[in-house]
């Protein structure tokens, strides 16, 4: 479980909540207490329509939070090599790159050099325009082929395969229906042989599954339901806002899969 700590004024569901470093720290510590294995700190919103953030501004947002969380398991949600480098020096263990190493050409070598884990996520287009006209021949085949190619690229760049997880990028250049199809067919991505991460938490396609075509932010209850469905299709990592609810639901779902309660 990855707990989301957005240090941004404009994230789609929690923008502005954690802009003070002390608030971000409190939120992160609570998520870890609630069972998150990592907290994913990000200083740039990737919601549809979001404008890019400069390097200086992103560092200004995340460095004070990373300093406060030093020694705890932290992931850095960034596309920039310099942010990843600073995060690694402050103890980050994972880079969550929504461009899947297509953004900053220097990022792969920072990850390899610091022996960081990496999440490769699919996105069609870029956040400012990605929801304008998503288009695929076959969304599941296209996303799977993309992740397979990006995985090979990352390995070529010296990042060991064992350190890499894959993410279909729910909401990144996809219609609500395409997002739901990707989760239903998640087994195709799982078959690539790497752990699969999903970020369904509070996403609009989950909200729209409840019948409101204009809904923008899903409830935590709907998000948990979607995560459990993804779990049953092989997802093993979940990027979520309400950590406790997801941990409890997924622990119960896993116990039913096994047929035994934890000892
Ligand atoms: N979703 C968001 C951001 N980063 N990273 C991965 N790997 N997968 C995701 O699905 C994903 C992600 C968007 O959610 P959030 O961080 O809540 O909002 P914002 O991008 O507006 O900060």
**177-203 burial string, b = 16+ CB within 10 Å, else e?**
ebbbbbbebbebbbeeebbbbbbbbbb
According to CATH, the superfamily of the domain at 2-258 is Dihydropteroate synthase-like (3.20.20.20)
d(CA 12, CA 99): 19
- Quote the pTM value: 0.96
What's the Cα-to-Cα distance from 188 to each of 60, 166, 194, rounded to whole Å?
A: 39, 12, 11
Phi, psi of 200 (to 5 degrees): -100, -15
Residues within 6 Å of ligand 1 by CB: 4, 6, 8, 11-13, 42, 45-47, 77, 96, 98, 119, 121, 167, 169-170, 197, 199, 239
The preferred substitution site among 31, 42, 76 for testing ligand 1, maximizing ligand atoms within 8 Å of CB, is 42
Nearest CA to 147 out of 201, 103, 206, 190 is that of 190
Which residue numbers are catalytic?
Answer: 203, 239
Q: What is the pLDDT along the chain (263 residues), one digit of tens a residue?
A: 999 999 999 887 878 888 899 999 999 999 999 999 999 999 999 988 888 999 999 999 999 999 999 999 999 999 999 999 999 999 999 999 999 999 999 999 999 999 999 999 999 988 888 888 899 999 999 999 999 999 999 999 999 999 999 999 999 999 999 999 999 999 999 999 999 999 999 999 999 999 988 999 999 999 999 999 999 999 999 999 999 999 999 999 999 999 998 77
Enumerate the domain spans of the chain.
2-258
Q: Which tokens go with 10?
A: 């404009």
Encode 188-256 in three state secondary structure: HHHCCCCCEEECCCCCHHHHHCCCCCCCCCCCHHHHHHHHHHHHHCCCCEEEECCHHHHHHHHHHHHHH
Q: Which residue has the tokens 């993410």?
A: 167
Report how far apart, in Å, the C-alpha atoms of 208 and of each of 10, 42, 173, 233 are: 21, 26, 16, 21
């Amino acid at each position: 479980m990855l707990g989301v700590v957005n240090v941004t004024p404009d994230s789609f569901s929690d923008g502005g909540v954690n802009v003070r470093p002390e608030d971000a720290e409190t939120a992160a510590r609570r998520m870890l207490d609630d069972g998150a294995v990592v907290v994913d700190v990000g200083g740039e919103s990737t919601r549809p329509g979001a404008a890019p953030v400069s390097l200086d501004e992103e560092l200004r947002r995340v460095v004070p939070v990373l300093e406060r969380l030093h020694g705890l398991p932290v992931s850095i949600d960034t596309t920039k090599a310099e942010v990843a480098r600073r995060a690694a020096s402050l103890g980050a263990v994972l880079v969550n790159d929504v461009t899947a190493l297509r953004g900053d050409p220097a990022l792969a070598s920072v990850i390899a050099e610091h022996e960081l884990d990496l999440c490769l996520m699919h996105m069609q287009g870029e956040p400012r325009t990605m929801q304008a006209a998503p288009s695929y021949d076959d969304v599941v085949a296209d996303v799977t082929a993309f992740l397979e190619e990006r995985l090979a690229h990352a390995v070529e760049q010296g990042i060991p395969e064992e350190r890499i997880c894959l993410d279909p990028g729910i909401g990144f250049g996809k219609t609500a229906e395409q997002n739901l199809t990707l989760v239903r067919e998640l087994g195709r991505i799982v078959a690539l042989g790497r752990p699969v991460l999903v970020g369904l938490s509070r996403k609009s396609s989950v909200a729209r599954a409840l019948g409101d075509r204009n809904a923008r932010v899903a409830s935590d209850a709907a998000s948990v339901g979607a995560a459990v469905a993804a779990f049953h299709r092989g997802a093993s990592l979940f990027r979520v806002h309400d950590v406790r609810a997801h941990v409890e639901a997924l622990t119960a779902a896993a116990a039913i899969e096994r047929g035994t309660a934890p000892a």
